[in-house]
Amino acid sequence: MTRRTYDSTKTRVAPVFDGLFQRDPSGEDWLSDLLSLPHEGHLLSTRIAQDPGRIEEARWDSVADRRMREAKLDPPSSLLSWIVRHLGEVRTDPISGDDRKAKLRRKLRDGHPETVAKALVKLRSDPRPRAWYVLEGRSCPDVFLATSEAVIVIEGKRTERGPTTTTTWMPGRHQMLRHMDAAYEIAGQREVLGFFIVEGGSKSEVPPKWLDAAQQTFSSEVIRNSLPHRPEKERALIARGFLGMTTWQQVCDRCGLERDVLIERI
Q: Residue 48 has what pLDDT? A: 97
Q: Which residues contact 63 (CB under 8 A, 6 or more apart)?
A: 10, 14, 15, 18
Domain boundaries, the chain: 2-74+137-261, 77-125
- The single-letter code of the amino acid at 158 is R
- For 81-86, the CB contacts below 8 A with 24+ separation are 81/120, 81/123, 81/229, 82/228, 82/229, 83/135, 83/136, 83/169, 83/170, 84/108, 84/116, 84/119, 84/120, 84/123, 84/133, 84/135, 85/116, 85/120, 86/228
> pLDDT of 212-245, one tens digit each?
999 999 899 999 999 999 999 999 999 999 999 9
Sheet holding 242-247, edge to edge: 39-40, 242-247, 191-198, 150-156, 143-147, 55-59
Task: Report residues of the chain scoring pLDDT below 50.
Answer: 1
Q: Residue 1 has what pLDDT? A: 43
Query: Mean pLDDT across the chain, nearest whole number?
Result: 95
Q: Residue 91 has what pLDDT? A: 86
Q: Residue 5 has what pLDDT? A: 87
Q: Residue 3 has what pLDDT? A: 58
